[in-house]
Amino acid sequence: MTETDFTGEEAVPTATLPLDAWHRARGGRMVEFAGYWMPIQYEGIMAEHQWTRDNAGLFDVSHMGQLSLSGENVAAALETLVPGDIAALKPGRMRYSLLLGEDGGILDDLMVTNEGDQLGVVVNGAVKWDDIGYLRENLPDDVTLNHNEDYGLLALQGPKAADALARLVPECADMVFMQAARATWNGHAIALSRSGYTGEDGFEISLPNEALAAFADALCAMDEVKPIGLGARDSLRLEAGLPLYGHDLSEDTDPVEGDLGFAIGKRRREEANFPGAARILGHLADGPPRRRVGLLVDGKLPVREGAKLFDGNTEIGVVTSGGFAPSVGAPIAMGYVPRDHAAPGTAIAAEVRGKRVPCTVAAMPFVPHNYVRKQGG
């Protein structure tokens, strides 16, 4: 019998990652996320969070969409949908960008890499099928889009990540933040970048599905590496002030409101030829009506997504991410407030279980980033 949901429509089964059995064998507690069964924790979120801060944590992010775009003038074609300067990307370099709707709302945030013969694009797992459809519909016919479903994606994050990975892939040692390279491991073609989603130094490694388990085993055999779940990934990215699409960013948010103005290239601002340019450039010039901000929470009660924000008795905004921050030792959050409430130090309150919890607008990141950048850069 076909499973159906309460509307009578056929339910979409939760997918499994290539490493599903690997996670379960190591005690991973699996939850549904972005349409997949994924490990939320192994030993515990607090312990895994701190391990990544001090050592090296291995994250399975194979739910992300790994795309390849090729064809003549592919960079110019992609620029019709994103505000970043893709044409200026040199081979082996990567850039954070945003897939925009016609009105400048954010459809997804993504990473674009110049791989020499093509562009590599990594999109969020929860919306990857929507992204693929949108790209295929809006890119010209002479651009070829491939969804690399036969490749998985691992992230090794933390201060000891480089030393650990270099034992398997020596090429990684000389890389810097937002640099990418191709290499081989045990006869398998792999792609790696010095990047991640924790605020720590680290790498993302793309490799064939059939090689994932052996590669993960080789890393976790090292004393400084442990598998880490989604729970710590979320607390680490929150401390790093990094937004999560579908929570802190959405179609109703433009890049300036999302505090992502850095993703709009200088040339692109001058040319004003990206989706929603009039709205977005107006917000850059005059200030957006609201802005994503960090929040330090008084006391020990966590403030979660959906909590309303108040100035006195006036509702002014909403929390989009929140929780306890192990490295801060207190609850933190991020959310949207009017621009006249967005300055660090502004006192507001969040409503939690009918009570008002004092909060202070704070600059992000809450914990400094530890990226390895180019010397002098």
Residue 43 lies in domain: 15-62+150-239
Q: Is the pLDDT of residue 1 over 90?
A: no
pLDDT at position 304 is: 98
Task: Give the model confidence (pLDDT) of 171-188 as tens digits.
Answer: 999 999 999 999 999 999
For residue 202, the domain's CATH number is 3.30.1360.120
Residues 38 and 171 grouped into a single domain: yes
In this prediction, residues 222-244 reach a mean pLDDT of 98
Residues 227 and 306 grouped into a single domain: no
Residues 45 and 173 grouped into a single domain: yes
In this prediction, residues 216-227 reach a mean pLDDT of 98
Residues 233 and 306 grouped into a single domain: no
Q: Of 363, 22, 13, 45, which Cα lies nearest the Cα of 229?
A: 45
Q: Is the pLDDT of residue 291 over 50?
A: yes
Residue 363 domain-assigned (yes or no): yes
> How many separate domains does the chain show?
2
Task: Please say which residue of 224, 239, 254 terminates a domain.
Answer: 239
Task: Please say which residue of 210, 239, 268 terminates a domain.
Answer: 239
Helices 230-239, 45-54: crossing angle, 10 deg rounding = 60
For residue 319, the domain's CATH number is 2.40.30.110
In this prediction, residues 109-135 reach a mean pLDDT of 98
Question: Do residues 309 and 315 touch, judged by C-beta distance below 8 A?
Answer: yes
Q: Global pTM?
A: 0.95
pLDDT at position 12 is: 78
Q: Are strands 188-193 and 119-123 parallel, antiparallel or unpaired?
A: unpaired
User: Residue written as tokens 């850095």?
Assistant: 262
- The more confidently predicted of residues 3 and 195 is 195
Residues 216 and 327 grouped into a single domain: no
Residue 374 domain-assigned (yes or no): yes
In this prediction, residues 311-334 reach a mean pLDDT of 98
- pLDDT-derived band at 161 (thresholds 50, 70, 90) equals very high
Residues 36 and 176 grouped into a single domain: yes
In this prediction, residues 119-145 reach a mean pLDDT of 98
What's the 3-state SS for the chain? CCCECCCCCECCCCEECCCHHHHHHCCCEEEEECCEEEEEECCCHHHHHHHHHHCEEEEECCCCEEEEEECCCHHHHHHCCCCCCCCCCCCCEEEEEEEECCCCCEEEEEEEEECCCCEEEEECHHHHHHHHHHHHHHCCCCCEEEECCCEEEEEEECCCHHHHHHCCCHHHHHCCCCEEEEEEECCEEEEEECCCCCCCCEEEEEEEHHHHHHHHHHHHCCCCEEECCHHHHHHHHHHCCCCCECCCECCCCCCCCCCCHHHCCHHHHHHCCCCCHHHHHHHHHHCCCEEEEEEEECCCCCCCCCCEEEECCEEEEEEEEEEEECCCCEEEEEEEEEHHHCCCCCEEEEEECCEEEEEEEECCCCCCCCCCCCCCC
Residue 296 domain-assigned (yes or no): yes
pLDDT at position 10 is: 63
Residues 298 and 157 grouped into a single domain: no
Residue 97 domain-assigned (yes or no): no
- pLDDT-derived band at 9 (thresholds 50, 70, 90) equals low
In this prediction, residues 297-320 reach a mean pLDDT of 97
Residues 29 and 157 grouped into a single domain: yes
Mean pLDDT of the chain: 96
Residues 57 and 198 grouped into a single domain: yes
Residue 303 domain-assigned (yes or no): yes
Per-residue exposure over 264-281, b if at least 16 CB sit within 10 Å of its own CB, e if not: bbeebbeeeebbbbebbb
Residue 277 domain-assigned (yes or no): no
Residue 343 domain-assigned (yes or no): yes
Task: Please say which residue of 239, 255, 278 terminates a domain.
Answer: 239
pLDDT at position 213 is: 98
Task: Give the model confidence (pLDDT) of 30-71 as tens digits.
Answer: 999 999 999 999 999 999 999 999 999 999 999 999 999 999
Residues 234 and 333 grouped into a single domain: no
Residues 336 and 200 grouped into a single domain: no
Question: Do residues 336 and 307 touch, judged by C-beta distance below 8 A?
Answer: no
Lowest-pLDDT range of 1-15, 87-101, 292-306 = 1-15
Residues 198 and 56 grouped into a single domain: yes
pLDDT at position 374 is: 78
Residue 118 domain-assigned (yes or no): no
